[in-house]
Amino acid sequence: MNRYPVWKYAIILIALVVGGLYALPNFFGLAPVVQVTSTKSVAKVDAALQTRVEEALKSASLSPDSVGLASGALTVRFSDADVRAKAKEVIQKTVMVDGQDAGYVVALNALSRSPAWLLSIRSAPMYLGLDLRGGIHFLLQVNMPEALTKKTESLAGDIRTTMREKNVRHGGISRNGQNIEVRLRQAADLEATKRLIQDNFPELQTQDMPDGTEFKLTASIKPEAARRIQDQALKQNITTLHNRINELGVNEPVIQQQGADRIVVQLAGMECVPCAKDLIGRTATLEMRLVDDGVEAQGAESGGVVPFGDERFFERNGRAVIVKKQVILSGDSLTDAQPGFDSQTQQPKVDLTVDAKGGRIMRDVSRENLHKRMAVLLFEKGKGEVLTAPVIQGELGNRFQITGAASAAEANNLALLLRAGALAAPMEIIEERSIGPTLGAENIAKGFNSVTWGFVAVTVFMCIYYMLFGVISSVSLAFNLLLLVAVLSMLQATLTLPGMAAMALVLGMAIDANVLINERVREELRGGASPQAAIHAGYDRAWATIIDSNVTTLIAGLALLAFGSGPVRGFAVVHCLGILTSMFSGVFFSRGVVNLWYGRQKKLKNVSIGTVWRPDSGNQVTAN
Amino acid sequence: MEFFKIRRDIPFMRHALVFNLVSLVTFIAAVFFLFSRGLHLSVEFTGGTLMEVRYSQPADLNAIRASVAALGVNDVQVQNFGSAHDVLIRLPVQKSSTSGAQSERVLAGLCADLAGTMQADALQSGKMVCKTAANAEPLVLKRTEFVGPQVGDELAADGLKALASVVVGIMLYLAIRFEWKFAVAAIIANLHDVVIILGFFAFFQWEFSLPVLAAVLAVLGYSVNESVVIFDRIRENFRRFRKMNTHQIIDSAITSTISRTIITHGCTQLMVLSMLLFGGETLHNFALALTIGILFGIYSSVFVAAAIAMWLGVQREDLIKGPIKKENDPADPNAGATV
């Protein structure tokens, strides 16, 4: 009766092997590394760079464990973090050209020490949270009313221009909060304005009311359009943050939307809080200027003297562009940039929209400079970069397009850069945490010690109290820990200190299943059942109780997962997963071991489950 | 080994009234302290700035307090954190200055007290460290935490939502699996544990942080476990012992599960104890909440939950469902047949 069919053992064996494989990387630990990546296409990460870095390290008498090129990054591994800190400085100097930033990013990271065959099955160590590895965490609140106000402001200007074009007379257009108020003298004008707004500004809704002898028309952004604007503002802010963080040289930054108007930024290994804050506070500006393509300027492109009144800037691919100093338009005028396809040529393009004032300037400038090039420049931290420099093909208005992108992806990227130069809406830090790396290491040690010593104490008690059944319970508890670690590694769920506490707690709770079973088996033995029948009944009867009690614990865990944030979520993830793995290990696995041990014996007289005390006889009946 | 050599069922239910009165008194005391003293909420809930600083020499808390007050920051709490070298500084939310500026100012002030100056770190550009003339580092900022006031309010609201959904979820499950009387009894018994944990935190003014909240909810789920195990046994006993009355059934159920209750809780407590000893200051209050929860969890599930179910009038018929076969049912083809 206490036999498992072969397939059940197969499941256990598979779980053991898979669990073992995925839990294994955690034992190898992490190696401190320095990674060099490139942000510009001129800055090539290749064998030449590798030799340069290797030689520089050798001359500084620093010996790395290994230097390797993989997926566009040069990875230099070290055995200890102090050496790495020195090496980072050396490498940083090496990759600079003439003391100038050459487009390389040098970052500290930690990579798994596990062998290549483990990496090839995508087995990675658990993903440690910031409180365990050190770093900076920000929660940013995007000021959405501000984004809407900005949009309203530019729409008010557009309405003014459109009304002038269509010869509709008005007595003043003003923005009042997030409403545009248009004063009109005559009823006919009111109708004309309403129609005009309906035709040209689908995102606006209007409402009119008499104002003395005159009329007042109030236009506001429709709720669904407002939602779209907010969504776009958030996306744009995230992209901008991405671009700025990339140059900080942080590995695997986490930049995520949280809720409708919040952004989480997590920079592991970062200690420089002011640098991180600069990301949010910094302002970037976009400028449109004419390209000088005179003979002198063409000479300057290939390294000659820059003509008077011009400046030299570089494109992302490193090509020099000589532009005039005079600014045609600044980024404030640009209201939108969207990628798309030209309806006639099917070529990828980027549609730009500038506000009414910008449109007027564009018209004049484009008329005078037909078939010349115009550059779009992005200025950040006082450094300019040419995003694109297209040729003006016709007279432009407030809506025009840039064609000639090689691919849809490139057009997409350009549109993004045009939009993402600046933050769409200001952001405010509403939560900030910085954890030093030493504290992270201490936290790991604390969590690890709690789990280890708790585990040892429970195991010792179980083995003494329940003898062989206690040993089996302890083995299944260890199996539970293995599975939990494996699942966490597989899912790459973030492990935090509360998560480690949950791990300890869930082990303490998981033993409950085995205690229930063991007590039940003892009780059956006490009642006079034969050992085999007692084992069978013990497991069977305890099962319903175990299910019930785990479901209630799981309900609490799921509620924490649903409503918790930050540390609570880290706790809840481990807690819920731990309950699930404990059901498997505590019942299915431990029964398998018991069956393997006792199930074969037909005439089983004794089971080793400690003292089975019978009240009727008054004396002890030892069962082994 | 066997710790529990119990000859006959312990008459728990005979003393049910006493146990319930004890519970009631503790509960009222807990509620009283909750209202009179209130919870000492952590920065996560109240908003504000938290700084953990490690001194190379044992820190002089009074000097730190004085120097922070001199910076014009009022209502500052300064305390040791784990050791004499580690200091935790809590600053309230200030409208005038941003989070970073505030903690930088305080750090610079503390640094100046030790005759040091803030300098750029040689290893990481932009990072500021405190250095004395002798190039020693008298204090290190280990962590800072800033929480805006709007986040705190949301956390409190989310915490209450989580509590409510745990209560509703567990009650629904128990009502489906057992019976509404058990659901009510289990929730009352275990909510009283939660209130008592909160009462302890209010009385001793221990800091109530997010991990503590997680511990409280985990305890709620965990100690409902206990009641479930006992209810399970009560149901089984109703089936097995047809002659016993409800009193005896409950007594027998509690007696036969008590060894398991205590051993399980003991094992969980071993784990929690290990957290209390090795987990450091961060996990200290988390482990404390669990300890209280586990101890009162035993009490409430053994002495309170079943008693409440009894007061609510649990009967055999509530648990053993299915149609009772009538004699000579004309629709039953097997009517009258006996085996």
Q: Are A521 and A536 in contact (CB under 8 A)?
A: no
Say which amino acid occupies B82.
Answer: G
CATH number at residue A421: 3.30.1360.200
Residue A461: closest CA among chain B residues belongs to which residue?
B267
Minimal Cβ distance to A439: which of B143, B177, B210? B143
User: A150: which residues sit within 8 A by CB, 6+ positions away?
Assistant: A424, A425
CA distance B295 to B112: 48
Would you place residue A20 in the very low, low, confident or very high pLDDT band (cuts 50, 70, 90)? Answer: very high
Classify residue A66: in a domain, yes or no: yes
* B132 shares a domain with B269: no
Which of these ranges, A126-140, A529-543, A607-621, B234-248, has the smallest mean pLDDT?
A: A607-621
Q: What is the pLDDT of residues A149-174, one digit of tens each?
A: 877 877 887 788 788 888 888 888 88
Q: What is the pLDDT of residues B200-257, one digit of tens each?
A: 999 999 989 888 988 988 888 888 888 888 888 888 888 888 888 888 888 888 888 8
Contact residues, chain A, for B259 at CB < 8 Å: 519
pLDDT at A600: 78
Domain range for B133 is: 48-147
* B222 shares a domain with B280: yes
Once rounded to an integer, what is the mean pLDDT over residues B176-180?
Answer: 85
Say which amino acid occupies A128.
Answer: L
pLDDT at B198: 94
Q: What is the pLDDT of residues A221-262, one digit of tens each?
A: 888 888 888 888 888 788 778 877 776 667 678 888 888 888
Minimal Cβ distance to B221: which of A89, A453, A556? A556
* A569 shares a domain with A455: yes
C-beta contacts of A517-523 below 8 A and 24+ residues apart:
A517/A542, A517/A546, A517/A586, A517/A587, A517/A590, A518/A466, A518/A469, A518/A470, A518/A473, A518/A609, A519/B257, A519/B259, A519/B260, A519/B263, A521/A469, A521/A607, A521/A609, A522/A609, A522/A610, A522/A612, A523/B256
Using the predicted structure, report yes or no on whether residue A367 has a pLDDT greater than 70: yes
- Among residues A428, A446, A475, the one where a domain terminates is A428
Contact residues, chain B, for A461 at CB < 8 Å: 266-267, 270
Classify residue B273: in a domain, yes or no: yes
pLDDT at B333: 53
Rounded to the nearest 5 percent, the helix, strand and coil shares of chain B are: 60, 15, 25
CA distance A455 to A190: 79
* A185 shares a domain with A39: no
Contact residues, chain A, for B142 at CB < 8 Å: 435-436, 438-439
Contact residues, chain B, for A439 at CB < 8 Å: 52, 142-143
Classify residue B173: in a domain, yes or no: yes
CATH number at residue A10: 1.20.1640.10
CA distance A610 to A620: 11
Say yes or no for a CB contact (<8 Å) between B275 and A454. Answer: yes
**Which DSSP string do the residues of A559-618 spell out, in sequence order?**
HHHHH--THHHHHHHHHHHHHHHHHIIIIIIHHHHHIIIIIT-TT-----SSEEE-TTT-
**A562 shares contact with chain B (CB less than 8 Å):** yes
Label residue A39 exposed, middle or buried (CB < 10 Å: 0-12, 13-18, 19+): middle
pLDDT at A363: 87
pLDDT at A464: 92
CATH number at residue B157: 1.20.1640.10
* A529 shares a domain with A393: no
Distance from the Cα of B118 to chain A's closest Cα (Å) equals: 14
CA distance B100 to B91: 12
Using the predicted structure, report yes or no on whether residue B325 has a pLDDT greater than 70: no
CA distance A365 to A327: 11
Classify residue A158: in a domain, yes or no: yes
Please tell me whether the overall predicted TM-score, pTM, comes out greater than 0.90 for this model: no
Classify residue B7: in a domain, yes or no: no
Minimal Cβ distance to A564: which of B214, B232, B259? B214
* B282 shares a domain with B156: yes
Which of these ranges, A381-390, B134-143, B285-294, has the smallest mean pLDDT?
A: A381-390
Average of per-residue pLDDT values in chain B: 82
Classify residue A132: in a domain, yes or no: no
**A563 shares contact with chain B (CB less than 8 Å):** yes
B294-to-A509, B197, B223, B257 alpha-carbon distances in Å: 11, 10, 7, 16
Would you place residue A611 in the very low, low, confident or very high pLDDT band (cuts 50, 70, 90)? Answer: confident
Using the predicted structure, report yes or no on whether residue B125 has a pLDDT greater than 60: no
Once rounded to an integer, what is the mean pLDDT over residues A479-484?
Answer: 95
Say yes or no for a CB contact (<8 Å) between A443 and B128. Answer: no
Q: How many CB pairs lie under 8 A apart between chains A and B?
A: 257
- Pairing status of strand A127-128 against strand A494-495: parallel
* A209 shares a domain with A299: no
Using the predicted structure, report yes or no on whether residue B329 has a pLDDT greater than 60: no
* B53 shares a domain with B38: no
Provide the number of structural domains found in chain A: 4
Contact residues, chain B, for A274 at CB < 8 Å: 100, 104, 126, 128
Of the spans A68-72, A347-351, B117-121, which averages the highest pLDDT? A347-351
Count how many Cα atoms sit within 13 Å of the Cα of residue A193 in the half-sphere of its side chain: 33
Label residue A80 exposed, middle or buried (CB < 10 Å: 0-12, 13-18, 19+): exposed
Most A CBs within 10 A among B81, B217, B235, hence the mutation to make, goes to B217
CA distance B89 to B78: 5
Contact residues, chain A, for B305 at CB < 8 Å: none
* B142 shares a domain with B154: no
Classify residue B77: in a domain, yes or no: yes
CATH number at residue B110: 3.30.70.3400
Domain range for A199 is: 145-226
Residue A510: closest CA among chain B residues belongs to which residue?
B268
User: A207: which residues sit within 8 A by CB, 6+ positions away?
Assistant: A217, A218, A219, A220
Contact residues, chain A, for B123 at CB < 8 Å: 85, 88-89
* B75 shares a domain with B30: no
* B87 shares a domain with B221: no
Q: What does the block give as tokens for B229?
A: 């195990």
Q: What is the pLDDT of residues A186-199, one digit of tens each?
A: 888 888 888 888 88
**A232 shares contact with chain B (CB less than 8 Å):** no
Say yes or no for a CB contact (<8 Å) between B232 and A556. Answer: no
CATH number at residue A214: 3.30.1370
Using the predicted structure, report yes or no on whether residue B124 has a pLDDT greater than 60: no
pLDDT at A215: 84
Classify residue B331: in a domain, yes or no: no
pLDDT at A84: 82
Minimal Cβ distance to A501: which of B98, B123, B279? B279
Residue matched to tokens 């300019």: A384
* A615 shares a domain with A466: yes
- Among residues A226, A261, A291, the one where a domain terminates is A226
* A446 shares a domain with A367: no
Residue matched to tokens 């108007």: A261
The CA-to-CA distance between both ends of chain B, in Å, stands at: 45
* A481 shares a domain with A451: yes
Q: What does the block give as tokens for A529?
A: 């059942």
The CA-to-CA distance between both ends of chain A, in Å, stands at: 21
* B223 shares a domain with B130: no
Per-window interface: A 127-146 vs B, CB < 8 A: 139, 141
- Among residues A428, A457, A481, the one where a domain terminates is A428
Classify residue B330: in a domain, yes or no: no
* B22 shares a domain with B170: yes
Contact residues, chain B, for A516 at CB < 8 Å: 229, 260, 264
Classify residue A270: in a domain, yes or no: no
Count how many Cα atoms sit within 13 Å of the Cα of residue B33 in the half-sphere of its side chain: 19
Q: What is the pLDDT of residues A43-54, one digit of tens each?
A: 778 888 888 888
Say yes or no for a CB contact (<8 Å) between A544 and B286. Answer: no
Would you place residue B326 in the very low, low, confident or very high pLDDT band (cuts 50, 70, 90)? Answer: very low
Using the predicted structure, report yes or no on whether residue A214 has a pLDDT greater than 50: yes
Minimal Cβ distance to A556: which of B1, B2, B166? B166
Distance from the Cα of B219 to chain A's closest Cα (Å) equals: 9
pLDDT at A480: 95
Provide the number of structural domains found in chain B: 2
Classify residue B130: in a domain, yes or no: yes
* A356 shares a domain with A494: no
CA distance B43 to B210: 10
CA distance B53 to A141: 28
Q: What is the pLDDT of residues A82-107, one digit of tens each?
A: 788 788 888 888 887 766 666 677 77
Most B CBs within 10 A among A105, A279, A560, A577, hence the mutation to make, goes to A560
The DSSP letter of residue B12 is G
Minimal Cβ distance to A564: which of B162, B268, B272? B162
pLDDT at A99: 62
Using the predicted structure, report yes or no on whether residue B290 has a pLDDT greater than 90: yes
Closest-CA residue to A252 (of A267, A236, A237, A242):
A267
Q: Are A142 and A340 in contact (CB under 8 A)?
A: no
Say yes or no for a CB contact (<8 Å) between B145 and A612. Answer: no
Per-window interface: A 241-270 vs B, CB < 8 A: none
* B132 shares a domain with B170: no
Classify residue A578: in a domain, yes or no: yes
Classify residue A485: in a domain, yes or no: yes
Classify residue B1: in a domain, yes or no: no
Closest-CA residue to A487 (of A586, A594, A370, A580):
A580
Contact residues, chain A, for B150 at CB < 8 Å: 141, 430
Label residue B261 exposed, middle or buried (CB < 10 Å: 0-12, 13-18, 19+): buried
Q: What is the pLDDT of residues A107-140, one digit of tens each?
A: 777 788 888 888 888 888 888 888 888 888 888 8
Classify residue A138: in a domain, yes or no: no
- Among residues B122, B147, B172, the one where a domain terminates is B147
* A153 shares a domain with A104: no
Label residue A47 exposed, middle or buried (CB < 10 Å: 0-12, 13-18, 19+): exposed
Contact residues, chain B, for A553 at CB < 8 Å: 218, 221-222, 224-225
SS3 B331: coil
Using the predicted structure, report yes or no on whether residue B278 has a pLDDT greater than 50: yes
Q: Are B264 and B157 in contact (CB under 8 A)?
A: no
CA distance A114 to A111: 9
**H or E stretch including A424?**
none
SS3 A405: coil
* A448 shares a domain with A337: no
* B52 shares a domain with B193: no
Say yes or no for a CB contact (<8 Å) between B267 and A272. Answer: no
Per-window interface: A 174-203 vs B, CB < 8 A: none
Distance from the Cα of B338 to chain A's closest Cα (Å) equals: 29
* A222 shares a domain with A363: no
CA distance B30 to A79: 54
Residue matched to tokens 């640098």: A275
* A324 shares a domain with A208: no
